[in-house]
Amino acid sequence: MKDRTLIFLATLFISSITATSCTNSGNVVFDSKTTTISIKTNKVISDVSPFMYGLITEEINHSYDGGLYAEQIRNRTFLQKKTIPYWHLITEGTARAAMNRDTVPVEGTALSGCLKLEISSASTNNRAGIYNDGYWGIAVKPNNRYIVSFFAKADEFFEGPLTFSIENNINDTVYASAQISGITDKWKKYTVEMITENSAPECSDNHFSITSTTPGVIKIGLVSLFPPTYKNRENGNRVDLMSLMAKMHPRFLRFPGGNYLEGNVLENRFDWKKTIGPIEQRPGHMCDAWGYPSSDGMGLMEFMYWCEDLGMEPVLAVYDGLNLSRMHDPITGDSLKPYVQDALDEVEFLTGDKNTKWGKLRIDMGRKKPFRLKYVEIGNEDFFDFKRTYDERYKLFQKAFREKYPDMVLIASSDGFVNSVRPDMEDHHAYMKADNGMGLLQAHLYDNYDRKKPALMIGEYAFREGSPTTNMLGGIYDAAYLTGLERNADIVRMSCFAPIFVNVNKGAMQWESDLIGYDTGKCYGSPSFWIQSMFSGNLGTELPASSISHSPVLKDTSDGNGNRIRIEEIYYSATMDDDHIYLKLVNAAGHKNKVQVSVQGKDVRKKGTVTEIAADSLSATNSINDLENIIPSVKKARIFADKFIYELRPYSVTVIKLLTK
Ligand code: AHR
């Protein structure tokens, strides 16, 4: 990653920053025409939730398979359509072979089929076998250690060995290779390692082959290829994507959805019991919400490890009787009770001790320590329940949870749809458009929110501008919206942008304007990503009273009823902790803007830090070919005081971290 962090020597920096963007003076004179932000640190409105910024995740846009989940083999269990997708036959020279799906179960696994490779002729320079495309290729890096695993059995004529290789698609260069001999007529799992050379290039235009130079009939079940994973977790995550996410300082993870939780039909919901244990015990399911199969390699435990690896609080969404195809007919009453029990079992699996049925299973699966779990959301987007049964369904869940897990924070999946009991929190989703400036009004959405209502998790939000990932327009509008969440931190306790991930390869995306883009070997953050990183990394613990005098007007218009609407250019929020004030400033205009800042209460030291992201145009963005076109710069400065003037760059988001001790 390019390091654009600039730490100037104080004197050198003062001269550059005063000239361009800031005026410091103990005696600075404010004028009434310039926007003035007043922060009263001795008047605290509320605390700021440490979980203000997090992530929501689901299988969409190849978020896991072909995304975060590091598995390289696509269709590793040989699902079949007309052919076996992503698998192809190799017959070099005089070699002769055929491949078909065989519906014999792979003994000792949950797999109901395998690939049957019948090699009638093969010899030293005439290989026969199969190869897999990977998810838009197979990523190669120098000195990369891969673990290959597979189930196999062979007929008595097969002498072997089988050779496994990662090969370049264009010039057939073999980057890594390993052999397995002694395959018998009994199903068995084999594991082998292979390592790329120091001289191997970083490239993804590769495939994975399994070949033989001798004839015979071989049955192969579940083939897996794992590169190194984040924190070396078995069945783990891509290192680059986890490292990138860590830069966002996410404090919670809402999972497993999203529509992926519910599926279109009951069988295709996230059925957690089928997502635990060794991968060969996970048959996978159709992610019909987004139109492709899910391997379930990213299962319930993997979500929890992901949380632990990035220090995030899990927010577990449980299935509650609503499927996307039954919005007019959710499961209710006695028929819902098994699913309430299923949710209780899920929590017991994660948090129970050895004396509980499901806790014991988790321990038997290798995880002794209970997982930390405090937040449970009942369903997803139950405002889509057109029969309006959510109140009744939610109540059943809440009653059961209060009895068994009284300390759990329960979140209703929609705001205002549960009235007969009080949820601890409500989830609000907001997908927005810039709409020629009108979207900026969303920055005031919660200013007059009824404080008697339950606290809010903004479980999905995004300004959907830019594709596949958001551009600066989306970023600026997100930032203005986030200042609105922070200014209302007494009621808004959690928020997360959706969706996080998109594989940018052709055909991989179902939902555009995402936070992080990637292909098989590279990844990048959108402007929205970097802005969330700036906000989350400068959160503060308390919300002081603050106000803004006025802002230059970006647009003066009226609504359909003739009411005047003034859309502002400048947006702000201010939070603090014992030693700092965090002032966030958004300039939505394409020209510079000055703000006058006045702090009452705490003494502001000269020293501070300015983090800024800006672009010349709102269409500016990052992409797989320009990973860091727009990223924030961090500068240390000695220019602040209780009153100061700061000049905002055009189309910019700025976080000023003031020192108060
Ligand atoms: O984020 C994409 C989808 O938007 C989610 O799956 C769903 O909850 C929402 O409608």
The tens digit of pLDDT for each residue in 613-627 reads: 999 999 999 999 999
Can you list the domains of the chain with their CATH numbers? 3-48+540-659 (2.60.40.1180), 53-70+231-385+427-532 (3.20.20.80), 87-226 (2.60.120.260)
> Taking the mean position of all CA atoms in its chain, how far away is CA 603?
39
Average pLDDT over residues 252-259: 98
47-67 per-position pLDDT tens digit: 999 999 999 999 999 999 999
- Protein residue closest via CA to atom 4 of ligand 1: 258
- Which pairing describes strands 145-154 and 188-195: parallel, antiparallel, or unpaired? antiparallel
Residue 258 alpha carbon to ligand 1 centre in Å = 5
Element (H, E) at 223: strand 216-226
Q: For 73-90, what is the mean pLDDT? A: 95
What tens digit of pLDDT does each residue of 388-400 get? 999 999 999 999 9
pLDDT confidence of residue 6: 33
Give the pLDDT mean for 135-156: 97
Mean pLDDT of 491-508: 98
Residue with tokens 């579940």: 222
In the structure, what pLDDT confidence band is assigned to residue 81 with cuts at 50, 70 and 90? confident
Spatial distance between the Cα atoms of 597 and 484, rounded to a whole number of angstroms: 18
Backbone angles phi, psi at 144, to 5 degrees: -90, 135
Confidence of residue 7 (pLDDT cuts 50, 70, 90): very low
Asked whether 459 lines ligand 1 (CB < 6 A), one says no
Label residue 160 by pLDDT band (50, 70, 90). Answer: confident
Q: Is 258 in the pocket of ligand 1 (CB under 6 A)?
A: yes
Ligand 1 atom, smallest distance to 58 CA:
6
CB 163: neighbour CB atoms within 10 A?
17
Which atom of ligand 1 lies at the shortest distance from residue 289's CA?
A: 6
Q: Which atom of ligand 1 is nearest to the CA of 257?
A: 6
Phi, psi angles (nearest 5°) of residue 472: -65, -30
pLDDT in tens, 536-575: 999 999 999 999 999 999 999 998 898 999 999 999 999 9
Q: Contact, 349 vs 289, CB < 8 A?
A: no
Tokens for 15?
């001269």
Alpha carbons 210 and 413: distance in angstroms, whole number: 47
What is the mean pLDDT of the segment spanning 225-233?
A: 98
Which residues 6+ apart lie within 8 Å of 286 measured at CB? 263, 268, 292, 293, 294
- Please check whether residue 65 is in contact with residue 98, taking contact to mean a CB–CB distance below 8 angstroms: no
Helices and strands, number each (H, E), in the chain: 9, 35
Give per-residue pLDDT as tens, 603-661. 999 999 999 999 999 999 999 999 999 999 999 999 999 999 999 999 999 999 999 98
What CA–CA distance (Å, rounded) separates 318 from 393?
12
Distance separating alpha carbons of residues 428 and 254, to the nearest angstrom: 13
Q: Does residue 192 come out as left (phi exceeding 0), alpha (psi in the -120 to 50 range) or beta? A: beta
> What's the average model confidence in pLDDT over 32-50?
98
Q: What's the pLDDT at 82?
A: 84
Residue 13, pLDDT > 50, answer: no
pLDDT at position 22 is 52
Task: Select from 411, 431, 515 the residue to mutate for testing ligand 1; criterion: most ligand atoms less than 8 Å from CB.
Answer: 431
| CA 460 / ligand 1 centre spacing (Å) | 7
Mean residue pLDDT across the chain: 95
Q: Whose CA is closest to atom 3 on ligand 1?
A: 258
- What does the pLDDT average to over 159-175? 96
Q: Which tokens sit at 215?
A: 């004839």
Any atom of ligand 1 within 6 Å of the Cβ of 257: yes
**Is residue 466 lining ligand 1, measured as CB closer than 6 Å?**
no
> In the chain, what percentage of residues exceed pLDDT 90?
93
Give dist(CA 649, CA 443) in Å, integer: 20
With the C-alpha atoms ordered 201, 207, 208, 213, is the resulting torsion angle positive or negative? negative
Q: How far, in Å, are 15, 23, 258, 605, 611 from residue 9 at the CA level?
A: 10, 18, 48, 17, 16
Distance 380 CA to ligand 1 centre (A): 9
Ligand 1 proximity of 608 Cβ (cutoff 6 Å): no
pLDDT score of 208: 98
Write down the pLDDT at residue 140.
Answer: 98
Measured from the Cα of 498, ligand 1's closest atom is: 1
Residue showing tokens 């002694």: 182
Q: Is 427 in the pocket of ligand 1 (CB under 6 A)?
A: no
Q: Quick one: which atom of ligand 1 is closest to the CA of 381? A: 8
Q: With contact defined as beta carbons under 8 Å apart, do 402 and 376 qualify?
A: no
Predicted confidence at residue 560, as pLDDT, reads 84
Single pTM value for the model: 0.95
How far is the centre of ligand 1, averaged over its atoms, from the C-alpha of 259 (Å)? 6
Is 511 close to ligand 1, i.e. is its CB under 6 Å away?
yes
| Ligand 1 binding pocket mutation candidate from 254, 315, 377, 381 (most atoms within 8 A of CB) | 381
What CA–CA distance (Å, rounded) separates 79 from 285?
11
Q: Select from 58, 500, 515 the residue to mutate for testing ligand 1; criterion: most ligand atoms less than 8 Å from CB.
A: 58
**What whole-number distance in Å separates Cα of residue 469 and Cα of residue 531?**
13
CA–CA gap between residue 305 and residue 255 (Å, rounded): 12
| Residue identifier of the C-alpha nearest atom 5 of ligand 1 | 258
Q: Does residue 11 register a pLDDT over 80? A: no
CA 527 distance to own-chain centroid? 15
Listing DSSP states for 453-495 in one string gives SPEEEEEEEEE--SSSB--HHHHHHHHHHHHHHHHTTTTEEEE
pLDDT band at 24 (very low <50, low <70, confident <90, very high): low
What does 525-540 look like in DSSP terms, one character per residue? E-HHHHHHHHHHTT--
Ligand 1 test: best mutation among 262, 460, 511, most atoms within 8 Å of CB?
Answer: 460
Give backbone dihedrals phi and psi of 590, rounded to 5 degrees, phi first. Answer: -85, 15
Atom 7, ligand 1: residue with shortest CA distance: 258
Q: Report whether residue 259 contacts ligand 1, using a CB cutoff of 6 Å.
A: yes
**CA-290 nearest atom, ligand 1:** 6
The reported pLDDT for the residue numbered 26 is 54
pLDDT of residue 3: 36
Nearest alpha-carbon partner for 521 in 194, 234, 136, 154: 136
Cis bond leading into 468, ω under 30°? yes
Q: How far is the CA of 548 from the centre of ligand 1 (A)?
A: 34
